[in-house]
Structure formats: C-alpha cells, structure tokens
C-alpha cells in the first residue's frame, strides 16, 4: 500500500486515540499499539516482531527507575513533609514559589546537572503546589522552562549540540558558536516571557481566599519533623542528588581523564542511580515495596510505548520526506520562521527534540536562508523554540517524565491539559516568530 495511505492511517489513528481517551478513558497507548500492529502488518507488510521491536527501551526504563525510587519517598510521606516544610518557609510570600522552582532548576541545569535537575525538583514542586492549590501544570511550566534556561547554554549544556548541528551544515565553528550564543540569549528572553504568562494565568486560576484575591500568605502550623524512616529516605535523595550532579559538573568544567572516574561517571546517570537506590530503599524497608510497585505509572509508560510504535511506522512510511517537501517555495518569506516553528512543534509532540526534530530540520536552514535571504539565526531559533514549546507533551520524553513523577491521583488528569498547554505555548512561540522576536540577537552573529 502507498506511503501516503499509511501516513493518513497514522493520522486517523492519532485522532481516534485522543477521542477514545476523552470519551471512554481508554488508555491512548492501547489504541496506538493496536493501530500500530494493524497499520504496520496489514498496510506496510511489516512483521509483528518488527513492530514490537520499536519498544523505546531507554525511555521506558527511565520512567520505571525514577518512579520506583521516588515511589518510596512518596509512600512513606517524605515528599509530603518536605513540601510542607518548604511551604512553611515561604508562607508569608507564597507567590514566589513558582519562581523559586524556575530559578533553582535553571541554576542546577546550567551547572551541568542535565535532566537530573528536573527529576529532583519536580517531585518537591508537586508537593508544594498541592499544598498551595496550584495547578500541577504550573509545576510543569516552572521546572521545564527553568531547565531550558539553564541547559541550552553553549558552555555546559545542550548548546554544544547546537554548535555541532550547525557546523554539520557547512558553517564555520565561529559562526556556529555565535549562532548558539544568540540562540541561548533568545532562549532566556523567550522562556522568561513564557514563564511570566504561565505564572499570571495559573495564579489567576489558583485557589483564592474569601475576598477573591490570590493568597500571598497562608496560615499554617509548623510541620512535624521527619521521622526516622523519612530521614533515611531524605538522606538517600540527597546522596543520589550529589551523585547525579557533582560528577557531571566536575566532568563538564574540569574534564578529568582518569579511567576510573570516567567509568564511575557512566553509572552516575538517572537510570542506574535510581534503580540502585530503590534497591537500597527496599532492603532498608523504607516503605511497602508491593504498594510502591502497584503505584508505578504504567498508564504513562504504555502511552509512551504505544505512540512510539505508531511514530516509528509513520517514519518508515516517509513522514520525514513529506515534512521536507512541505518546506518549499510555496511558503511566503515572512511566514517561513513561523512555519518552521509550527512543523518543529508538531513533530516534537511525538518525537524527541534533540534526537529527531533538530537533526531533521536544521539541515533545511542553510538552503532556505540562501534562497530567501531570511536570517538563518532566526530560523534556527524558530525550529529550536517550536520543538521546545511542545517538548513536555505527555507523548514525549520530558512530558511523560513529568506525568510519571506526579502524585498518583494527578497523573490521569494531567494528560489532556498538558497537550493543550503545549499547543498554547506553540501558538505563542509562532506569534513571537512572526513578530521577529527570534532575530533580536542577530548582532551577535554579524
């Protein structure tokens, strides 16, 4: 069957997947997997064994490992007490809490903590937010936007990858570096604007006091101290934090060549650290392991797996070629930036920004810029920010992580609103691209 028919079938599958969840609360992963096998085997002629080989091993294990470890902290009440204690510190100025989440995550990720900064800050932020009555999506915004402000820098973060991608497109190292710096300056400005708008909106929606104004102070008794089990759990969280952050910072800033340190660095990753510490937590009886396992976010894992199956089939059917063909001579010059932003954002709903979207779309920039005269820095930024805008969709790596780390009672209710939030931020980003916001730091490259 033609690739066009297969791509249309995948699109229909996504629509049915969302509709089935909204009306019947059928796990979207189930629907996606069912369609993936039907489309892959019947329409594409792929063996069933090949279809289930699309299982995203790295992502599924990542979600299991971090949820397992923090499941002990949640089950024995450590996160709740910790959240209350932090909230007590800010009881006279609760409006600052989302910004504290934002800047702490930004600082940690800038120093080189990477994804670990989100994993460590998000559970605490959820606990505080629940006490304040803030939407969990405010936590998602604060932690996710803070993470990009920190980690997109071209010295210790993912900006290094941007330099490599730009260099691969034939530009000099000097221009690639300046482009990455300009992108980063735009990132900081753009994410601050986005954070401010999200903060205003979710503060408006937050729990209000009797006179209808958002509470800036709350009355609360001093929280109880941690019990012995919670102290042990908190100690393990702090040790895991040190292992995840400090070796990576040392490697980023100093670059130690010692073979033992290099091997040690390989185990200082979220997947391995959280499994090891979950084992310690089990041995120490820090919580009922059966209950912890029962509360693992299997709905989220199945959702991500099912969508991965479907997207792998769409890619095999030529989705990439279709997207490249869309960016042609038919797009007006003034719409090229917003258009690339939109395409990157749509792709990022279902794909990884760094392993799929940027490597796919960055090679399109030089020929488009040469043919149209549009500044390439603005186009690189438009693609980056479009992909980033929807990067916390629940179908993506970051979004599924946020759902998995959320308290159990919040998880199912977050999925659809997160998609809406991602689309809203994408529209905002497209408007910024249309207004030329992503060209404000062009002078750095010139």
Q: Which residues contact 12 (CB under 8 A, 6 or more apart)?
A: none
Residue 193 near residue 389 (C-beta atoms within 8 A):
no
- The region of weakest confidence among 48-57, 161-170, 387-396, 409-418 is 161-170
- Tell me the CA distances in angstroms from 44 to 32, 35, 304, 309, one per residue in order: 16, 12, 22, 13
| Tens-digit pLDDT profile for residues 325-357 | 666 556 787 888 888 899 889 888 877 777 667
Query: Which residues are 145's β-sheet partners?
Result: none
Average pLDDT value for the chain: 81
Structure pTM?
A: 0.71
Give the pLDDT of residue 212. Answer: 46
Give the pLDDT of residue 38. Answer: 92
pLDDT exceeds cutoff 60 at 72: yes
How many Å apart are CA 135 and CA 284, to the nearest integer? 34
DSSP characters over 331-356: S-GGGHHHHHHHHHHHHHHHS-IIII
Angle at 332 between CA 327 and CA 335, to 5 degrees: 80
Of 402, 418, 436, whose CA–CA distance to 349 is shortest?
Answer: 418
Report which of residues 445 and 213 the model is more confident about: 445
| Tens-digit pLDDT profile for residues 220-236 | 678 788 899 999 998 99
- Tell me the CA distances in angstroms from 402 to 28, 114, 143, 259, 348, one per residue in order: 17, 15, 9, 34, 16
Of 352, 328, 349, whose CA–CA distance to 340 is shortest?
Answer: 328
Q: At 268, phi and psi to the nearest 5?
A: -85, 55
Of 193, 189, 166, whose CA–CA distance to 178 is shortest?
Answer: 166
- Per-residue pLDDT, averaged over 307-324, amounts to 78
How many Å apart are CA 258 and CA 260, to the nearest integer? 6
- With pLDDT > 90 as the criterion, what percentage of the chain qualifies? 13
- How is the chain split into domains, by residue range? 57-203+221-296+327-444
Of the pLDDT bands very low, low, confident and very high (cuts 50, 70, 90), residue 218 is low
Of the pLDDT bands very low, low, confident and very high (cuts 50, 70, 90), residue 208 is low
Give the pLDDT of residue 320. Answer: 64
| Tens-digit pLDDT profile for residues 31-51 | 889 999 999 999 999 898 888
């Amino acid at each position: 069957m033609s690739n066009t028919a297969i791509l249309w079938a995948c699109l229909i599958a996504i629509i049915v997947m969302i509709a089935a969840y909204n009306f019947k609360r059928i796990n979207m992963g189930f629907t996606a997997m069912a369609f993936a096998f039907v489309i892959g085997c019947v329409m594409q002629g792929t063996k069933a064994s090949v279809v289930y080989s699309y299982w995203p091993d790295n992502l599924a294990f990542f979600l299991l490992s971090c949820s397992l470890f923090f499941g002990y902290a949640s089950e024995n009440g450590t996160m709740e007490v910790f959240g209350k204690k932090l909230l007590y510190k800010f009881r006279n100025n609760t409006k600052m809490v989302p910004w504290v989440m934002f800047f702490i995550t930004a600082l940690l990720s800038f120093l080189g903590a990477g994804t670990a900064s989100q994993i460590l800050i998000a559970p605490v932020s959820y606990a505080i937010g629940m006490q304040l009555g803030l939407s969990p999506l405010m936590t998602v915004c604060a932690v996710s936007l803070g993470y990009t402000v920190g980690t997109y820098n071209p010295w210790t973060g993912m900006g290094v990858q941007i330099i490599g991608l730009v260099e691969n497109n034939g530009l000099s190292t000097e221009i690639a570096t300046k482009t990455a710096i300009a992108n980063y300056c735009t990132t900081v400005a753009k994410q601050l604007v986005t954070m401010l708008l999200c903060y205003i909106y979710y503060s408006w929606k937050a729990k209000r006091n009797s006179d209808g104004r958002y509470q800036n102070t709350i009355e609360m008794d001093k929280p109880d101290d941690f019990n012995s089990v919670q102290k042990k759990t908190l100690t393990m969280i702090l040790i895991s934090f040190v292992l995840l952050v400090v070796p990576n910072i040392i490697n980023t800033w100093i670059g130690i060549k010692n073979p033992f340190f290099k091997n040690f660095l390989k185990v200082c990753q979220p997947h391995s650290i959280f499994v090891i510490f979950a084992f310690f937590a089990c041995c120490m009886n820090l919580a009922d392991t059966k209950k912890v396992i029962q509360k693992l976010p299997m709905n989220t894992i199945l959702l991500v797996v099912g969508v991965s199956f479907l997207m792998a089939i769409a890619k095999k059917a030529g989705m990439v070629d279709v997207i490249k063909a869309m960016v042609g001579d038919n797009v007006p010059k003034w719409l090229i930036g917003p258009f690339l932003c939109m395409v990157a954002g749509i792709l990022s709903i279902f794909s990884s920004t760094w392993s799929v979207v940027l490597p796919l779309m960055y090679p399109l920039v030089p020929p488009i810029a040469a043919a149209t005269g549009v500044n390439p820095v603005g186009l690189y930024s438009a693609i980056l920010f479009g992909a980033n805008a929807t990067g916390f969709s629940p179908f993506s790596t970051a979004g599924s992580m946020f759902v998995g780390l959320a308290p159990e009672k919040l998880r199912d209710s977050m999925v659809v609103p997160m998609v809406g939030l991602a689309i809203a931020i994408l529209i905002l980003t497209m408007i910024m691209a249309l207004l030329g916001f992503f060209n404000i730091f062009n002078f750095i490259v010139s």
